Structure 1
Amino acid sequence: MSYPETINLPFNAEIIKSRFTQIKPSGAAEAGHGHLVLLQGETLVLEGEGLFRGELPISLAADGAPLLFGTWDGDPVRVYTLPKSQALPAGLHAVHWNALPDDLATLYGLARQILYWEKLSRHCSRCGSSDMERIFPTWGKRCSGCGHEHYPHIHPCVIVLVKRGDEFLLVRKPEWAAGRFSLVAGFVDFGESLEECVVREVQEETGLTVGDIRYIGSQNWPFPSQLMAGFVASYKSGDLKIDGDELEEGGWFSRDRMPDSLPPNRSIARFIIDRFALGAGA
């Protein structure tokens, strides 16, 4: 599957804007029961081909109530997480996000990010208090102990295709599946612009110097809460020297010499490779 622009990639809100409207906590009485987004690790629990509808089965209710976070096709939609070991009632089945259609994968990702924030914000990171109250109408929370306000943490990252003539740089991490290569990527550091982060990450991980840095687009990546900013850069100088810490291998590839495996086709990494290394933008 190909996507016209990065905004059309799964996990970006554009994918579900015709079906989903986000509702932030307001303190008002919640609407009646509608859809349930049941998360179980990296899977979404479905009823048939779609979301479960109705009240949470008693056999699944173990820790609190489902959290309202929007409407789906006009009806309320709530999220609830289940233990990975939880047996599912007849009629329900879990589907890994990779096997979901783009709209359900995107809804899964949004729900996953919200639950991650809910878990992360149970205690105040300043004083350690567990007495946290919501700041309506936002996802923010205020510590009743010290008064410090906390808001969702979105972590900016860069991901970059380095080109040298007809060749392009791909790297692999040791924890990836055998033979899989992708692009250099990393978190933005203190005091950095996105472009400065590109230069530093490439130099630190591969020993290369790059220039002519061009922004391509971005993708929300809810694993757990990154914003991936994609770039293409040109090789300037240096010999390839893999750092051996974050990466275990890297090399120059071309259309005629490719690795065994590339990133998932619904990732911004694959979008950039397909468009700017192998496709019309190359």
Structure 2
Amino acid sequence: MADGSTERDARTNGALEHPRQGRWLAFRGAELLLTDTGTLPAGDALAALGCLPLRIQSLGIPPEAGAGTGLPCHAAELPADAEPPPGTAFTHLKRLNDHLPDGLRRLAARALELIEWDRAHQFCGACGAPTVQDGDAKVRRCTDPGCGREHYPRVSPVIIVAVERGDEILLGRSYHFAPGFYSTLAGFVDAGESAEEALHREIQEEVALRVRNLRYFASQPWPFPHSLMLGFHADYDGGNVVCAEDEIEHAAFFHIDALPASLPGPSTIAHWLLRDFCRRRGRAWPPA
């Protein structure tokens, strides 16, 4: 089915009756289905799964996806027990991030967030009535005439900050990190907070430090499950590192010439913050 009206007819509250033409960003949880050559599978590969996607979202024809000229892309949520067809494999998107082309990585992040939004808003959070999606518009509307609330994809702001002290940078590790892995500190923005207020609070709560001279750096969508990372640089302004026992296993200031060996990969904003910190001090990072 190639035309939009037929695609809409195939949808029943987000479910797919049979695969359509085009390329698919098909997820089993947060695992993306790719061919053995690292490309997106086509509709016939979805048919070879032997099961129907639980729900779909149209992504249009994104030119940056490397999916083939003129081919539409679709996001699909697959059953938890789906097995990959021959010539394909499931891989967690976090493991793929540093290996996917930029355009495909951004598209995969959007696809995963839309699938999560679609799954989590099948029913109205205000009254409990079923919701419906009109065509490909990214909004689910409550079917109760007395409610009618609209549910859009959720975005949760998160601050992430490189705290600098001369040629040192503050890095920490949470209890769920891989052994030896460190990163810049981050935390969600609370209701009623500005990003700057959240930054001061998080650094105080997590490591008992004061910071000053906040400088906005960049932002990055992070689809686990629906965050928007807001990156900052800040200067140390006092205090001793005291880790919050329930959040931070270890944190310390690391000299630019003695950074931990295991740090965030190049697709992450934490990596960008570290690289910029080193660049401004005349160092190449990661080292050659």
Q: 1:35 aligns with which of 1, 23, 35?
A: 23
- Name the residue aligned to 1:268: 269
Q: 1:44 aligns with which of 28, 32, 52?
A: 32
- Name the residue aligned to 2:181: 180
Within the alignment, does 1:139 sit opposite 2:134 as a pair? no
* TM-score normalised by the chain length of structure 1: 0.82
Q: 1:79 aligns with which of 67, 75, 82?
A: 75
Determine helix, strand or coil for the equivalent of 1:71. Answer: coil
Tell me how far apart the structure 2 counterparts of residues 137 and 111 of structure 1 sit (CA, whole Å): 13
Task: Tell me: CA distance 1:235–1:65, structure 2 relative to 1, closer, same or farther (3 Å).
Answer: closer
Deviation at 1:178, TM superposition (A): 0.8
Contact 1:46 1:92 in 2 (8 A): yes
Tell me how far apart the structure 2 counterparts of residues 85 and 124 of structure 1 sit (CA, whole Å): 28
Determine helix, strand or coil for the equivalent of 2:117. Answer: helix
- Name the residue aligned to 2:42: 53
Q: Which has the higher contact order (CA 8 A, sep 6+)?
A: 1
**Structure 1 unmatched runs, 5+:** 1-26
Seq. identity, %? 35
The residue type equivalent to 2:140 in the other structure is K
CA RMSD after TM alignment: 2.2
Dislocated runs of 4+, deviation >6 Å: none
Aligned residue-pair number: 254
- Name the residue aligned to 2:65: none
Tell me how far apart the structure 2 counterparts of residues 196 and 63 of structure 1 sit (CA, whole Å): 42
Deviation at 1:281, TM superposition (A): 5.9
Tell me how far apart the structure 2 counterparts of residues 257 and 149 of structure 1 sit (CA, whole Å): 51
- Name the residue aligned to 1:17: none
Deviation at 1:75, TM superposition (A): 1.3
The residue type equivalent to 2:163 in the other structure is V
The residue type equivalent to 2:120 in the other structure is L
Tell me how far apart the structure 1 counterparts of residues 261 and 87 of structure 2 sit (CA, whole Å): 38
Deviation at 1:251, TM superposition (A): 0.5
- Name the residue aligned to 1:67: 57
Contact 1:30 1:68 in 2 (8 A): no
Determine helix, strand or coil for the equivalent of 1:52. Answer: coil
Tell me how far apart the structure 1 counterparts of residues 91 and 177 of structure 2 sit (CA, whole Å): 22
**Structure 2 unmatched runs, 5+:** 9-19, 63-68, 283-288
Contact 2:54 2:79 in 1 (8 A): no
The residue type equivalent to 2:167 in the other structure is D
Deviation at 1:45, TM superposition (A): 1.6
Tell me how far apart the structure 1 counterparts of residues 135 and 77 of structure 2 sit (CA, whole Å): 23
Aligned pairs for 1:75-114 within 5 A: 75-97=71-93, 98-99=95-96, 100-102=99-101, 103-114=103-114
Tell me how far apart the structure 1 counterparts of residues 35 and 48 of structure 2 sit (CA, whole Å): 16
The residue type equivalent to 1:75 in the other structure is L
The residue type equivalent to 2:270 in the other structure is A
Task: Tell me: CA distance 1:217–1:59, structure 2 relative to 1, closer, same or farther (3 Å).
Answer: closer
Contact 2:57 2:114 in 1 (8 A): no
